[in-house]
């Protein structure tokens, strides 16, 4: 459902008519000020009394980062070392918990490689995002498949779509691919799910028996690689600012975006660090970007 109808109908793309960013109130929404968020959480609790919820997805627009991608929630500590039942059921072997939140995005990339970018996905949870929909649903409802799906306002970098804005047809085809990926995720035919798991095990190797890191030696046949690969610089935990009531707003000043002198200096330091980290990530990921574009294949724009 549309969770910001009064804001959108009045031309807002982040705030409700009350002037509130609704993706920052999921921890404790007000029944009067944030009714759509409040009642969505009530609906989810009631639904989960009767049946399991497989996946939560919050669809946004992103004004800076290109492509369509996801933000997820990686497990931490003991949860990351556990095993969870396979979504396919039917006596299927359990999955590694540390990879569970990456499986569906990887399947979606397989169904829409010319539009969806797995390499642009991030599964870090920053403290400033703890009141967003994906993090609250992950923690309160114990959903490892809890995502923000971001569709860029700035178009694509992939294949022949590079440099073009997404059309309505592109976004509709992504919606169809999302449904197909869900079917692959729960299908009794586990071949697509197992293939995604094998790729993820190579991209994100676990720990060797002796306690050292496992090193994957052959990634040449795997497309759309993220920055976090063996020998790489590690997955960036920077989440760019967006303008679509998204998961990753950078604003932390007062109501008008301004703060005191000390806060202004801190913001400048953060901005300088942000730019330095992004430049480092671009340099380290250049060969992977080439692999990703090769894997995307040719697709006609429009």
How far is CA 168 from its chain centroid? 21
146-152 sheet: strands from edge to edge: 56-62, 146-152, 68-71
**Which H or E run includes 57?**
strand 56-62
Q: Is residue 218 classed as helix, strand or coil in its secondary structure? A: coil
Task: Report the chain's terminal Cα–Cα distance, integer Å.
Answer: 28
292 part of the active site: no
String of b and e for 221-246 (b: at least 16 CB within 10 Å)? ebbbbbbbbeebeebbebbbebebbb
- Active-site option among 74, 101, 114, 150: 150
Give the chain's radius of gyration (CA, Å): 20
Q: What is the largest CA-CA distance in the chain?
A: 60
Catalytic residues, by residue number, are: 150
């Amino acid at each position: 459902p549309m969770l910001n109808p009064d804001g959108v109908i009045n031309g807002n793309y982040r705030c409700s008519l009350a002037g509130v960013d609704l993706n920052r109130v999921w921890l404790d929404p007000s029944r009067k000020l944030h009714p759509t968020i409040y009642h969505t959480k009530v609906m989810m609790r009631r639904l989960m009394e009767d049946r399991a919820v497989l996946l939560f997805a919050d669809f946004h627009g992103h004004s800076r980062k290109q492509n369509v991608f996801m933000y997820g929630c990686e497990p931490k500590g003991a949860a990351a070392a556990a095993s969870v039942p396979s979504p396919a059921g039917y006596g299927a072997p359990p999955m590694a918990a540390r990879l569970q939140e990456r499986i569906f995005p990887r399947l979606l990339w397989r169904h829409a490689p010319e539009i969806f970018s797995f390499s642009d996905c991030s599964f870090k949870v920053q403290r400033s995002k703890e009141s967003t929909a994906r993090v609250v649903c992950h923690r309160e409802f114990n959903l490892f498949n809890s995502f923000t799906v971001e569709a860029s306002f700035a178009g694509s970098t992939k294949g022949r779509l590079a440099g073009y804005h997404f059309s309505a047809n592109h976004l509709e085809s992504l919606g169809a691919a999302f449904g197909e990926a869900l079917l692959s995720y729960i299908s009794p035919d586990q071949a697509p799910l197992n293939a995604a798991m094998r790729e993820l095990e190579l991209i994100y190797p676990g720990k060797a028996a002796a306690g050292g890191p496992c090193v994957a030696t052959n990634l040449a046949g795997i497309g759309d690689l993220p920055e976090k690969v063996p020998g790489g610089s590690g997955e960036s935990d920077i989440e760019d600012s967006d303008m679509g009531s998204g998961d990753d707003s950078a604003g932390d000043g007062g109501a008008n975006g301004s703060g005191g002198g000390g806060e202004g200096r801190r913001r400048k330091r953060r901005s300088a660090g942000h730019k330095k980290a992004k430049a480092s990530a671009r340099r380290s990921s250049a060969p992977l970007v080439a692999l990703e574009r090769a894997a995307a294949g040719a697709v006609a724009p429009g």
